Amino acid sequence: MVAGFDVDSYAKSEVTSISFFNKLSIHNNQVLIEMPFAKEIILNKEQKKQLQERVIVKIELVYTRFKTSEKFNQTELNKKRLLELKKLVPEVFDFPVWEYQLISQNNGNSREECSKMFHGFIITFRPLSTDAYAQQESDYVKQLVSNLSKIDSLAKDTTPKPYHIKTRWENGYVYDTIWGEEKKIDFYPPPPPNPYLASLKEDSTVLNAFSRNKNWTNFIVVTDATGSMSPYYTQVLTWLRQQLNNENARLFVFFNDGDRKPSDKKLLLETGGIYVTTERSYEMVSQTINKCISGGAGGGETKENDVEAMLLGLKHYPEAKNIVLIADNYEKMRDYEFMDKITIPVHIFLCGADRFINLQYLDLARVTKGSVHTKNEDIYNLYQLKEGEVVTIENRDYMLKNGVFTFYNSSKSILYN
């Protein structure tokens, strides 16, 4: 498989300098891949299983600045170490949507000192969901709905007074001006106490994509509601509040990849954990989201049952003309090989697409004659691309090769395999 991994570029990335990395500082969602000083040998290959089964959000390569010879080339060692990690887990490099960083330790002035320091990779995973975490997510959704209801009550107050309500979706506030006084109402409650989710709070991909695309009719909204997606599925509720007189969204589907089913029991197109509602009020849709959250402890695995969820939505509402899929860019589709069963356009809102675009969603948009939408861009007509042609998205290039998309760099042709 052609991978979106240019080893030369990664090996000479921008470097962050620190004094010393303390191995005891890692948290529960991190593992270390250790290597000896000045060598590319992986010392703890038993970590391979975790790297294969969990969603990686960041990879950091740590080394010491000290070198025993003036002829030593750190970039070349970085390259060898990256290739050694790729040899251990090649699938990790198939979709390099994770953040990457080089870290140089300044302490250590001899081979003996440096040999006692850490060298290798810090791998950061997306947090796994737990019952306690799912409850926090559910409480967050309920609080959001409560806040939106309060704002609606304010808006419906017919008492004569000169005021207007101005919505500012980009920062999550509604400004209510009464008698010339500006009052700020924060309708987004504080996010659950999870650092990873807090980092996504400012990503308004869903609201931005909906605001730029208002002409779709008779569509189903299918949303990944695993724990990692809470900053995005709550934006669906915010969008719904704006759609009081718009009935184009006819059905809402939320999926969590199998409820609490073990990974080895998740059969293709029979994974489950899918919740459907025909109600269009944000209060009722929020109840469906909460059922989905409570039903499963999704989040943290590397695959989701997107196609199964869309097919179930079409079974409930076969008259649909379009599907809006709110998808996780970090996840692969468990049922990717069945996407040709979907016969109407799928418009994919890709959440977390800050680096590369997940190639599977480009393929889905092309096969269904749909579209891809990031925080800032709308990409249509992928199905019109011919073999060997290139599309640019968020300043990165993708080539259609052998009927599927691959990563592409004009200076290197297909990126490093």
- Domain shared by 247 and 376, yes or no: yes
Structural domain contains residue 400: no
Structural domain contains residue 162: no
Task: Tell me: pLDDT of 369 over 60.
Answer: yes
What is the per-residue pLDDT across 326-366, written as a single tens digit (0 to 9) for each?
A: 999 999 999 999 999 999 999 999 998 988 899 999 999 99
Amino acid 184 reads K
The residues that bridge with 406 in the sheet, in sequence order, are 399
**Which residue among 71, 92, 125 closes a domain?**
125
What is the per-residue pLDDT across 146-203, written as a single tens digit (0 to 9) for each?
A: 776 666 554 554 444 333 323 333 333 332 322 233 333 345 555 555 554 455 456 7
- Domain shared by 120 and 220, yes or no: no
Structural domain contains residue 36: yes
CATH code of the domain in which 28 resides: 3.30.1330
Structural domain contains residue 254: yes
Question: Rounded CA gap, 188 and 144, in Å?
Answer: 6
- Domain shared by 217 and 366, yes or no: yes
Structural domain contains residue 256: yes
Question: Rounded CA gap, 230 and 206, in Å?
Answer: 12
Task: Tell me: pLDDT of 370 over 50.
Answer: yes
Structural domain contains residue 248: yes
What mean pLDDT do residues 361-381 have? 97
Question: Rounded CA gap, 344 and 368, in Å?
Answer: 6
Residue 251: give the domain boundaries: 197-384
Q: How far from the centroid of its chain's Cα atoms is residue 169's Cα? A: 20
What is the per-residue pLDDT across 2-56, written as a single tens digit (0 to 9) for each?
A: 345 788 889 999 999 999 999 999 998 999 999 999 999 999 999 999 999 898 9
- Domain shared by 233 and 110, yes or no: no
Question: Rounded CA gap, 81 and 188, in Å?
Answer: 43
List C-alpha distances in Å: 259 to 237, 238, 284, 292.
22, 25, 20, 8
Determine contact, residues 382/366, Cβ cutoff 8 Å: yes
List C-alpha distances in Å: 298 to 181, 210, 233, 386.
45, 25, 14, 37
**DSSP letter string over 299-326?**
-SBSEE-HHHHHHHHHHH-TT-SEEEEE
**DSSP letter string over 222-258?**
EEE-SGGGHHHHHHHHHHHHT-TT---EEEEEEE-SS
- Domain shared by 222 and 340, yes or no: yes
CATH code of the domain in which 308 resides: 3.40.50
What mean pLDDT do residues 100-113 have? 96
Give the angle subtended at the CA of 151 by the CAs of 192 and 134, to the nearest 5°.
20
Counting the structural domains of the chain, the total is 2
